[in-house]
């Protein structure tokens, strides 16, 4: 088996490959549009309408509606585009980390501080 | 002929932009990170680069999944930073160096790298923040720059081995430029961190340190790993070490370590910094 075809199972981790890139295209395209302040405001005004405009499927819309980070990833979301959705909600990557690991944000930050002790 | 003065590799986390905007350099959380930079500033004052070639990865500002180049080289007179959606202040435009850009493009394609060339290109935090860290007191980045963007968004990504070869070819391209200018190579990203998935928050100082050591003495060490193995060891975004590999490979021959710093955490990230120069 060569490196290109190797599938390595990494717990709690999935790389964003062609399969996810196809599955998540509409969701990621919507999140990419959030680079524009005008589009962020349009989403705030009418979330459901904005999602329809980009053709999100039911799984993607439900994950957006419920702010479900792991659900957004499973629906094909890429973290770099999802970060722009998180920006609308006023969340940073540590909020996302806490949401995905089931920790509070303080616990998540404490885990990282602990990782830096004694390095 | 053009001469490469050395390479600087640094992390590029967006939160650095918030810290700079909020003047948090002396805040206890941030101080161990920002304290890494004064020796870099002193070195830059000494070597006085005329132009910088910046290896970085775009995070969904310039490129979307509709068209995703593996390697893209900027060839614009100016590069604009822009709104990325989560509110860090944008920095003033960066002056380009089209003549060096086209020299690099011509030479890299001649060396069998099939590039995407960009005469318009927005540059994100991975470009703007490291340059601001290197020249914090200048309102605008004082040297013209050439962007080289490596895809780390959508797999398959180029391997560490391929990025090493890219960097080596880039170094040869710069070295063959018939201008008496001093060129700095910058690689941004990493080190270990993971933003997405149940393993979010993963860092690996043991691997990061081994990697930093290897860049000085054995820069091809990391090319033994596939990108999935690098993700296993460093996290989903730790794979940004590819830019460090390419920047180091651009330096011809043996290098000396001028300075390094390593700190955990800034935001979710193990922050690394290295300055390497070509051994005399």
* Structure confidence at residue A93 (pLDDT): 92
Q: On the CB side of A116, how many CA atoms lie within 13 Å of its CA? A: 22
* Domains in chain B: boundaries: 3-278
Contact check, Cβ <8 Å, B84/A115: no
Burial class of residue A47 (count of CB atoms within 10 Å of its CB; 0-12, 13-18, 19+) = middle
ipTM rounded to 2 decimals: 0.95
Asked if B263 lies within 8 A of A116 by C-beta distance, the reply is yes
Q: What CATH number is given for A17-90 in this structure?
A: 1.10.700.10
Check residue B88 and give its pLDDT.
87
Angle at B82 between CA B81 and CA B88, to 5 degrees: 100
Q: What is the pLDDT of residue B85?
A: 95
Token pair of B273 as six digits: 């910094």
- Cβ–Cβ under 8 Å, residues B133 and B38: no
- The predicted structure's pLDDT at residue B280: 75
The CATH architecture to which B3-278 belongs is 3-Layer(aba) Sandwich (3.40)
Q: Which of A79, A84, A119 sits opposite B86 (nearest CB)?
A: A84
Set of chain B residues whose Cβ sits within 8 Å of the Cβ of A29: 64-66
- The CA distance from B16 to A116, in Å, is 18
Chain A residues in contact with B200 by the CB 8 A cut-off are 12, 96-97, 100-101, 108
Average pLDDT of chain A? 93
- Do the Cβ atoms of A100 and B196 come closer than 8 Å? yes
Dihedral angle of Cα B8, B10, B15, B20, to the nearest 10 degrees: -30
Residue B162 contacts A where some CB pair is shorter than 8 Å: no
pLDDT for the residue B87: 83
- The better pLDDT of the pair A8, B5 is held by B5
Distances (CA, A) of B182 to B44, B109, B175, B178: 11, 23, 10, 12
| Rounded Cα distance, B213 and A95, in Å | 33
Alpha-carbon distance B152 to B59, whole Å?
A: 8
Closest residue in B to A98 (Cα–Cα): B200
Partners of B232 on chain A (C-beta within 8 Å) are: 8, 10, 13
Q: Closest Cα of chain B to A92: distance in Å? A: 8
Task: Give the CA distances from residue B163 to residues B53, B54, B224, in Å, rounded to whole numbers and listed in that order.
Answer: 15, 14, 12
Any idea what DSSP says for residue A5?
G
**CB–CB of B86 and A87 under 8 A?**
yes
Q: Could you identify the residue written with the tokens 């650095």?
A: B16
Q: How many CA atoms lie within 13 A of B126 on its CB side?
A: 27
In angstroms, what separates the C-alpha of B198 from chain A's closest C-alpha? 4
Helix (H, G, I), strand (E, B) or coil at B270: strand
pLDDT score, position B279: 87
* Min Cα separation A57/chain B (Å): 18
Nearest residue on chain B to A41, alpha-carbon basis: B85
* Chain B residue with Cα closest to A38: B85
Query: From the list B60, B159, B264, which residue is nearest A116 (CB)?
Result: B264
Residue range B98-113, pLDDT digits in tens: 999 999 999 999 999 9
Chain A residues 49-68 within an 8 A CB cutoff of chain B: none
Give the Cβ contact number of residue B228 at 10 Å.
22
- Chain B residue at shortest CA distance from A5: B156
* Burial (0-12, 13-18, 19+ Cβ within 10 Å), B98: middle
DSSP string, B221-247: GGGGS-HHHHHHHH-TTGGGHHHHHHH
Q: How far apart are CA A86 and CA B103, in angstroms?
A: 40
CB-based contact, B110 to chain A, within 8 Å = no
pLDDT at site A3: 46
Tell whether A96 lies on the interface with B, counting CB pairs under 8 A. Answer: yes
Residues of A in contact with B229 (CB under 8 A): 8
Q: Which pLDDT score, from 0 to 100, does residue A2 have?
A: 44
Residues of chain B with pLDDT under 50: none
Is residue B193 among the annotated active site residues?
Answer: yes
Domain boundaries, chain A: 17-90
Q: Which B positions 170-209 lie with beta carbon below 8 A of chain A?
A: 194-201, 203, 205, 209
pLDDT of residue B106: 98
The per-residue pLDDT for A5 is: 47
Closest listed residue to residue A79, CA positions, set B94, B231, B55, B253: B231
Q: How far apart are CA B173 and CA B181, in angstroms?
A: 13
**Which helix (H) or strand (E) is B186 found in, with range?**
strand B182-188
CB contact under 8 A, A13 and B236: yes
d(CA A65, CA A49): 12
Residue B7, CA distances (Å) to A77, B184, B274 in order: 34, 6, 8
**What does the pLDDT look like over A11-49, one tens digit per residue?**
999 999 999 999 999 999 999 999 999 999 999 999 999
Q: Which two tokens stand for residue B92?
A: 């003033």
B232 touches chain A (CB under 8 A): yes
Work out the angle at residue B103's Cα, subtended by the Cα atoms of residues B98 and B107, and round it to the nearest 5 degrees. Answer: 145
Q: If you ran DSSP here, which 8-state letter would residue B213 be given?
A: H
């Amino acid at each position: 088996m060569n490196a290109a075809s190797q599938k390595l199972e990494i717990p709690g981790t999935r790389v964003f490959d062609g399969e996810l890139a196809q599955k998540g295209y509409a969701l990621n395209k919507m999140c990419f549009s959030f680079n524009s302040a005008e589009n962020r405001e349009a989403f705030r005004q009418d979330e459901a309408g904005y999602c329809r405009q980009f053709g999100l499927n039911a799984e993607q819309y439900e994950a957006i509606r419920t702010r479900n980070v792991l659900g957004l990833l499973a629906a094909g979301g890429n973290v770099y585009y999802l970060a722009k959705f998180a920006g609308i909600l006023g969340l940073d990557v540590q909020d996302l980390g806490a949401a995905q690991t089931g920790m509070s944000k303080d616990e998540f930050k404490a885990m990282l501080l602990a990782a830096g002790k004694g390095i | 002929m053009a001469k490469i003065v050395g390479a600087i590799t640094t992390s590029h986390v967006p939160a650095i932009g918030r810290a700079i905007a909020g003047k948090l350099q002396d805040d206890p959380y941030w101080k161990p990170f920002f304290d890494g930079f004064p020796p870099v500033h002193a070195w830059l004052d000494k070597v006085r680069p005329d132009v910088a070639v910046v290896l970085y990865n775009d995070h969904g500002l310039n490129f979307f999944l509709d068209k995703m180049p593996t390697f893209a080289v900027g060839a614009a007179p100016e590069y604009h930073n822009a709104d990325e959606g989560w509110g860090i202040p944008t920095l003033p435009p960066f002056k380009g160096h089209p003549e060096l850009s086209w020299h690099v493009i011509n030479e890299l394609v001649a060396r069998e790298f099939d590039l995407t060339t960009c005469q318009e290109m927005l540059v994100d935090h991975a470009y703007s923040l490291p340059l601001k860290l290197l020249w914090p007191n200048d309102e605008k980045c004082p040297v013209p720059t050439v962007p080289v963007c490596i895809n780390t968004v959508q797999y398959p990504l180029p391997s560490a081995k391929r990025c090493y070869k890219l960097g080596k070819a880039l170094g040869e391209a710069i070295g063959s430029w018939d201008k008496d200018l001093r060129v700095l190579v910058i690689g941004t990203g990493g080190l270990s961190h993971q933003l997405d998935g149940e393993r979010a928050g993963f860092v690996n100082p043991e691997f990061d340190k081994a990697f930093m050591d290897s860049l000085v003495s054995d820069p091809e060490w990391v090319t033994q790993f596939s990108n999935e193995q690098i993700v296993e060891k460093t996290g989903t975004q730790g794979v940004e070490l590819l830019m460090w590999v390419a920047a180091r490979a651009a330096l011809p021959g043996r290098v000396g370590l001028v300075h390094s710093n390593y700190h955990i955490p800034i935001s979710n990230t193990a922050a690394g910094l290295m300055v390497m120069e070509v051994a005399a």
